[in-house]
A and B are shown apart, each in its own frame.
Chain A
Amino acid sequence: MDFELSAEQAMLKDSVERFIQDNYAFSQWQALAGSDLGYSANNWKTFAEMGWLMLPFAEENGGLGGSVVDVAVVTEALGAGMTLEPLMSSVLLGGKLVEYLGDEIQKEAILGAVAEGTKTLALAYGEPAARFDLSFAETRARKSEAGYVLIGRKSVVLHAASADGLIVIARTAGEADDVAGISAFLVEPDAPGLRCQDYPLVDGGRASDVFLADTPAELLGEEGTALAALQRVIDEATCAVCAEAVGAMGWVLEVTKDYTATRNQFGKAIGDNQVIQHRLVDMFTAVEEAKAITDMTVMRVAEGAENASAQVSAMKAKVGEAARFVGAQGVQLHGGIGMTDEYPIGHYFKRLMALDVMFGDTAHHLNRFAETV
């Protein structure tokens, strides 16, 4: 048993932290969040050059063969900077699904470019009625002589607008809530019958609703086999999200400690009040719990533990709750300036809120974990 980072992991962490220091001052974040693209193409090149995009792919697919533990090291460090680049959507969701599901030709055609950052992907799995249930899909695929076409609507697809390719989950058989009959498809961004409604997210991210009207699509892998791979991809991505939340919470805790130590009211630092100290201790404890359960879960998932998926839900429930608490208290202890757009703390609150929702909120995962009780 060892919760310490290996020498390579420590180096990886350092390199991400240095990147954040150089490229993610809050003013830089603001400029990117407000830009058309929503992130920096230059930063994206750096992500590629540093090997962060290759990290999670197997060596035979042009990757570095990194584990979910390695990925968590990266996303935790990125979390402190509230980064906006599409690592999650293109690599951890889109790319990984291609790796788990695609045939050799598809992997060959796609993964190299994704790992080099020259092609970005978006994964359209959610639907308006599905909430966080991965097997619920009303979007359908119809097979004709010319191939498949898709009909339906996917919701809150991360970074769809800037993606060079979409992967869409659709049903090739069964009713909307059947577990069987789920397939994945590759869709070109300029495919006929494809319409995207693009919008910002509360945390500065970007997403779209994707409307498919007889949109031509290429089957990824084999028909009806996507659900297990999708669940695995989402479980692993949930590990990355929790690590990111831990990084963001750590930032909130540090900044709030600093602020309460320097802000004076009634002739002393507000942090001199014991009630503020206890609140900071509660925040600290929440971060410690979140960090520990995330590390433990990430290691279990990396080992391929049998009940890994339930463990992921336990982690997400705990981390989601912590994220909400730490984010909200960060704002509260800043008073008025916590409520402003021009000061970072409120944006971290919003990022943490979005991370709680992503891949299922606390309630969803607690319900899912409860099924194992």
Chain B
Amino acid sequence: MDLQFSDEDLAFRDEVRAFLKTNLPANLLDRSDRGLHPIKEDIEAWQKSLHKKGWIAPNWPVEYGGTGWSLTQKYIYNREYFLSGAPQTIAFGLNMVGPVIYTFGTEAQKNEYLGDILASNTWWCQGYSEPGSGSDLASLRTKAERDGDDYVINGQKIWTSFAQHADMMFCLVRTNTECKPQEGISFILIDMNTPGIEVRPIIGLDQDHTLNEVFFENVRVPAQNLIGEENKGWTYAKYLLGHERNIIARVARSQYQLARLKKIARLERRGTGLLIEDNDFRRRIAKVEVDLMALEAMELRYLSQDIAGKKLMAEPSVLKIRGAEIAQAIKTLTVEALGPYGMVYEAEDQLTMRNDGPLGPDYAHGAMADHLYQRAATIYGGTNEIQRNIIAKLILR
């Protein structure tokens, strides 16, 4: 066992750190620092500059535009990236559908889509969940029927994050009803400008618009947009989930946000003193920090097992559960740090129309929005209950 990185790895770390420090735009950092969603144009511009640097898709194979870094380097990059405060790159193209396309797609599909994903020319959304199919995703009913060279799609998706920005959707559709549910699902790519698609907003607890319903009425999608084989979509969808693993624990992001919490506690006045001097509050920050350390240690240990070629089973679910819980704990404490101002919340579109200054201290802005949004961390991508079911199946045999 050895915790030290090699000299080359350390040099690499310094290079990444220096690049991020010089190039991360201030307005993007400010929003990310507060926990606010990036503005579409800003995150696209930032992704384009990462692309120019060649670092936009570290996990992709070199032949498709990846970096060729070792697992350790990828880990270091990811860590430095989030410790810089940078917002997560939009995962739908880069972390989700991109790997599916280069793994299972045709040459034509690779040529058509991968370049634009790397260059952030297209915005993708994920059309999995349906009103009746959330945790039980395999029960999905949105139907795709073959008609000549097209599939004709009818049905509805829900909770489709950022569909309002999307040019393309990767979508799970039902192509066979006469079999086990998992065996009648296909994975298809849909141009969001196709006639018959309607996107309706769903406003969230934070009063922000990130979620949508997407309706399909006789939407004609060329059969060449099917990924792999018909009725094999479930396999591709599961493959995709494995690819989110490197960001699932969000250790570095949580470390960054924990540092921000400490900063707030050092500024927040508590009578003649400061909040950070309150032993009870410090203890509770310490508790989250200890939890976060264990999470980091688990992540490192799994990384090292991964490098050694051991197959990971329940581990990603462990990381997802604890990662989400710890992120939520940090956001809860951040709002709590604000004292009575923790009750204050105004939706951003209203807030930006004000000319009478921030509500409470400037650092309060964003804390509640992120706290509210992060309640979903234990719901999306497989709820914490479902993750526990998965672990139980794997370890209790």
B contact residues around A262 at 8 Å (CB): none
Contact A126 B203 (CB under 8 A): no
- How many angstroms between the C-alpha atoms of A357 and B368 in the bound complex? 13
Q: Given A197-B356, A201-B343, A336-B158, A266–B207 Cβ distance below 8 Å?
A: no
A98 contacts B by Cβ under 8 Å: no
A contact residues around B336 at 8 Å (CB): 361, 363
Interface string of B309-326 (1 = CB under 8 A from A): 000000000000000000
B contact residues around A126 at 8 Å (CB): 340
Interface string of B205-246 (1 = CB under 8 A from A): 101000100000000000000000000000000000000000
Contact B203 A341 (CB under 8 A): yes
A133 contacts B by Cβ under 8 Å: yes
Q: For A177, give its contact among B158, B271, B372, B388 (CB under 8 Å).
A: B271
Chain A residues 154-180 with CB under 8 Å of chain B are 155-156, 176-177
B42 contacts A by Cβ under 8 Å: no
B390 contacts A by Cβ under 8 Å: no
- How many angstroms between the C-alpha atoms of A264 and B380 in the bound complex? 18
A202 contacts B by Cβ under 8 Å: yes
A362–chain B nearest beta-carbon distance, Å:
9
- How many angstroms between the C-alpha atoms of A353 and B372 in the bound complex? 11
Please tell me which stretch of B73-81, B165-173, B291-299, B357-365 contacts chain A, meaning at least 4 of its Cβ atoms lie within 8 angstroms of it: B357-365
- How many angstroms between the C-alpha atoms of A336 and B139 in the bound complex? 17
- How many angstroms between the C-alpha atoms of A288 and B127 in the bound complex? 41
Residue of chain B at shortest CB distance from A328: B375
A contact residues around B385 at 8 Å (CB): 273, 275-276
Please tell me which stretch of A56-64, A219-227, A298-306, A342-350 contacts chain B, meaning at least 4 of its Cβ atoms lie within 8 angstroms of it: A342-350
Contact B360 A155 (CB under 8 A): yes
B contact residues around A199 at 8 Å (CB): 344, 346, 359
B contact residues around A349 at 8 Å (CB): 205, 375
B contact residues around A129 at 8 Å (CB): 269-271
- How many angstroms between the C-alpha atoms of A361 and B339 in the bound complex? 8
- How many angstroms between the C-alpha atoms of A358 and B340 in the bound complex? 7
The DSSP consensus for interface residues of chain A is mixed
A contact residues around B271 at 8 Å (CB): 129-131, 133, 136, 176-177
Contact B280 A367 (CB under 8 A): yes
Contact A131 B340 (CB under 8 A): yes
Contact A128 B205 (CB under 8 A): no
B383 contacts A by Cβ under 8 Å: yes
- How many angstroms between the C-alpha atoms of A130 and B341 in the bound complex? 11
Q: Given A202-B343, A363-B281, A128–B269 Cβ distance below 8 Å?
A: yes
Q: For B340, give its contact among A264, A324, A357 (CB under 8 Å).
A: A357
Q: Given A332-B378, A338-B379, A340-B205, A266–B135 Cβ distance below 8 Å?
A: yes
Residue of chain A at shortest CB distance from B279: A367
B177–chain A nearest beta-carbon distance, Å:
15
B202 contacts A by Cβ under 8 Å: yes
Chain A residues 353-373 with CB under 8 Å of chain B are 353-354, 357-358, 361, 363, 366-367
Interface string of B332-360 (1 = CB under 8 A from A): 10011001111111100000000011011
10 shortest A-B CB distances, which residue pairs?
Answer: A129-B269, A202-B345, A265-B136, A341-B203, A131-B339, A156-B340, A346-B205, A266-B136, A354-B343, A336-B159
A203-B343, A353-B343 given; name 14 further pairs at CB < 8 Å.
Answer: A129-B270, A131-B269, A199-B344, A200-B344, A205-B343, A209-B359, A266-B135, A266-B136, A336-B211, A336-B380, A338-B379, A340-B202, A350-B205, A363-B281
- List B residues at the A interface (Cβ < 8 Å): 129, 132-136, 139, 158-159, 202-205, 207, 211, 269-272, 275, 278, 280-281, 284, 332, 335-336, 339-346, 356-357, 359-361, 368, 372, 375-376, 378-380, 383-385, 388
- 10 A-B contact pairs sorted by A residue (CB < 8 Å): A156-B360, A201-B344, A202-B343, A202-B372, A203-B343, A266-B136, A338-B375, A340-B203, A341-B205, A357-B343
